[in-house]
């Protein structure tokens, strides 16, 4: 099924406003320059008569357009640039590392460039990221039996009070409460439809939401309350397989996900989410059909609310539920994303 692009005026307005909600839904080619861009490109915007729109980067290339060097339409938005990869690899291998501006310069990296990337893509400073990595490691050590004072000095802190203060500011609780608390590690997973916020505990993935979803902050708070946990950025053993499976899905090489999930909801919500996972790839169901399978044909609205409360997009495929009349309704990530996902699956079933 070929994707139907939004109206030309809608796309041009999105281009003018650098609207991230249209990432992955169209690309714009500028006739006067021969260059094509993402909707969010920061380059000067052309007049509407000089623009044509494409469903994919491949279509733009086939029409002779060259990719823009500013917005890199052939890569995922937010992808780690080559100049930063070695630094992140070093941090992942040694989460306790401390790096000052001079350390970055010795590695041939401009500190201001690092700060901009972290602020623009992760929403926190580089030093806050390093601090969160150290505290995340410290939490694991304490939870598995290491003494707090030993953990503090092994994490590079010069005093126990400094470690305790940093730990509490990051996690919301003191180190000696680690055995009764849980941490949800947060990262970003890239996709053709924009970055996703992923969260994981020791048991599995508990969060996968589009970063620009309007209710994402509310969902994060609900998740924290449900799991009695705090959120910190960092690494988790489930992030690598999650990234791999999401990439395979968008490349049309995966129809089912095998990564462990942590469902944090009421008994009814979890029942609805489990039923969602029975909808075959490339198929759809109505909310009414979902209610019938759940066992309560009159609970259509309750089923719809539970769908909306789903915090694990794509893997728990709430995008496969449509209106009884066949129309696309109700998707937290935006109906344009729902349409993209359904089109992707229907042509590959």
The pLDDT of 307-320, averaged and rounded, is: 94
This prediction's pTM = 0.70
Classify residue 261 by its DSSP letter: B
Structural domain includes residue 234: no
For residues 284 and 332, membership in a common domain is answered with yes
* Secondary structure letter of residue 225 according to DSSP: H
* Residue 94 counted as domain residue: yes
| Buried/exposed code over 291-317 (b: 16+ C-beta within 10 A; e: otherwise) | bbbbeeeebbebbbebbebbbbbbbbb
High-pLDDT (> 90) share of the chain, %: 39
Same domain, 61 and 86: no
Please tell me whether residues 332 and 289 are part of one structural domain.
yes
Say if 223 falls within a structural domain: no
Closest CA to 205 of 178, 171, 241, 172: 241
- Closest-CA residue to 171 (of 184, 188, 154, 160): 184
Range of 300's domain? 263-346
Kindly state whether residues 82 and 169 are assigned to the same domain: yes
Number of structural domains in the chain? 3
- Checking 240-246 for CB contacts under 8 A at 24+ apart, the result is 242/189, 242/198, 242/200, 242/205, 242/208, 243/189, 243/190, 246/189, 246/191, 246/196, 246/314
State pLDDT tens for residues 100-122.
999 999 999 999 999 988 887 77
2: in domain: no
Of 175, 201, 225, which residue sits at a domain end? 175
Q: Any idea what the CATH number is for the domain that residue 157 is in? A: 1.10.10.60
Whether pLDDT at 2 is above 50: no
Higher-confidence position of 79 and 220: 220
Q: Do 142 and 92 share a domain, yes or no?
A: yes
CATH code, domain carrying 296: 1.10.10.10
186: in domain:
no
Question: Are 81 and 63 members of one domain?
Answer: no
Residue ending a domain, choose from 19, 34, 67: 67
State the pLDDT at residue 342. Answer: 92
Domain co-membership, 47 together with 92: no
Query: Is a pLDDT exceeding 90 seen at residue 287?
Result: yes
Residues annotated as catalytic are: 318
The answer on 87 and 59 residing in a single domain is no
Query: Residue 46: in which H helix or E strand, if any?
Result: none
CA distance 108 to 231: 32
d(CA 81, CA 100) in angstroms, rounded, equals: 20
CA distance 326 to 174: 52
Instruction: Count, in order, helices (H) and strands (E) of the chain.
Output: 14, 10
Q: Is residue 209 part of a domain?
A: no
What's the token pair of residue 70? Answer: 């500013």
Whole-number Cα distances in Å, 320 to 3, 196, 245, 327:
16, 19, 19, 11
Last residue of a domain, one of 126, 146, 175: 175
12 part of a folded domain: yes
The answer to the question of residue 146 being in a domain is yes
d(Cα 306, Cα 215) in Å, to the nearest integer? Answer: 14
Neighbours of 251 (CB within 10 A): 10
Torsion of CA 9, 14, 334, 25, to 10 degrees: 80
pLDDT in tens, 40-59: 898 888 899 999 999 877 77
The answer to whether 74 and 24 have CB atoms below 8 angstroms apart is no
Residue 94 — φ and ψ, nearest 5°?
A: -135, 80
Least confident of 30-39, 70-79, 201-210, 293-302: 70-79
For residues 280 and 309, membership in a common domain is answered with: yes
Residue 60 belongs to a domain with what CATH number? 3.40.10.10
User: 148 and 82: one domain?
Assistant: yes
């Amino acid at each position: 099924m070929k994707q139907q692009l939004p109206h030309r005026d809608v796309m041009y307005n999105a281009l003018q406003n650098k609207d991230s909600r249209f990432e992955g839904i169209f690309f714009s080619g500028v006739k006067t320059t021969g260059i094509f861009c993402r909707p969010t490109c920061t380059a000067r915007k052309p007049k509407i008569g000089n623009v044509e729109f494409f469903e994919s980067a491949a279509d733009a290339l086939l029409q002779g357009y060259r990719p823009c060097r500013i917005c890199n339409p052939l890569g995922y938005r937010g992808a780690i640039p080559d100049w930063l990869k070695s630094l992140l690899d070093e941090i992942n291998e040694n989460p306790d590392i401390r790096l000052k501006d001079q350390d970055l310069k010795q590695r041939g990296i401009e500190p201001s460039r690092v700060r901009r990337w972290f602020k623009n893509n992760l929403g926190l400073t580089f030093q806050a990221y390093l601090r969160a990595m150290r505290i995340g490691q410290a939490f694991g050590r304490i939870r598995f039996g290491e003494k707090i004072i030993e953990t503090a000095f092994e994490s590079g802190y010069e005093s126990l009070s400094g470690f305790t203060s940093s730990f509490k500011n990051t996690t919301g609780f003191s180190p000696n409460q680690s055995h009764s608390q849980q941490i949800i590690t947060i990262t970003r997973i890239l996709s053709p439809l924009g970055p996703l916020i992923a969260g994981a505990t020791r048991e599995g993935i508990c969060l996968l939401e589009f970063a620009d979803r309007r209710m994402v902050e509310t969902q994060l708070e609900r998740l924290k309350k449900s799991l009695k946990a705090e959120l910190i950025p960092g690494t988790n053993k489930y992030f690598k397989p999650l990234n791999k499976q999401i990439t395979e899905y968008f490349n049309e090489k995966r129809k089912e996900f095998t990564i462990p999930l942590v469902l944090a909801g009421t008994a009814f919500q979890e029942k609805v989410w489990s039923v969602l996972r029975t909808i075959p790839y490339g198929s759809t169901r109505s909310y009414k059909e979902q209610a019938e399978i759940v066992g309560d044909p009159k609970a259509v609205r309750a089923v719809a609310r539970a769908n909306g409360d789903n915090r694990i997009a794509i893997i728990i495929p709430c995008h496969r539920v449509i209106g009884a009349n066949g129309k696309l309704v109700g998707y937290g990530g935006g109906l344009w994303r729902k349409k993209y996902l359904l089109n992707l699956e229907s042509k590959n079933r």
